[in-house]
């Protein structure tokens, strides 16, 4: 069940995967390869996350996510990429 904060932020499952990969130190290119999306789409997810989380820098995304949702992005195991879904 989503917390009120999570629902308010409206973070998609794909964006949650991107947060996890950023927390693991992946570049947009690496995020794209891992999720089966282009690096440009990965960057678009990062841009949307920065706006939703209210941070100016990509590297701040995981900490802001943890602060606002109470979840550690590294605690989840990344689901396998499904081509053409949510990219």
Query: Is residue 87 included in any domain, yes or no?
Result: no
Q: Check pLDDT > 50 for residue 27.
A: yes
pTM: 0.80
For residue 21, is it within any domain? yes
Q: Is residue 82 in some structural domain?
A: no
Domains of the chain: total: 1
Segment 41-81, tens digit of pLDDT: 999 999 999 999 999 999 999 999 999 999 999 987 765 55
Residue 65: which of 2, 1, 5, 4 has the closest Cα? 5
Q: Which domain holds residue 42?
A: 4-69
CATH number (domain holding residue 39)? 1.10.10.10
Q: What percent of the chain has a predicted confidence (pLDDT) above 90?
A: 74
Helices (H) and strands (E) in the chain, counts: 5, 0
Q: Is the dihedral of CA 15, 49, 43, 47 positive or negative?
A: positive
């Amino acid at each position: 069940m989503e917390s009120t904060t999570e629902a308010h932020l409206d973070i998609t499952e794909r964006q949650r995967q991107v947060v996890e990969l950023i927390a693991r130190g992946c570049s947009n290119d690496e995020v794209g390869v891992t999720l089966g999306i282009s690096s440009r789409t990965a960057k678009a997810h990062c841009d949307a996350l920065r706006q939703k989380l209210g941070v100016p820098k990509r590297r701040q995304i995981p900490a802001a996510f943890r602060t606002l949702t109470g979840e550690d992005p590294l605690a989840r195991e990344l689901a396998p990429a499904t081509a053409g879904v949510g990219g």
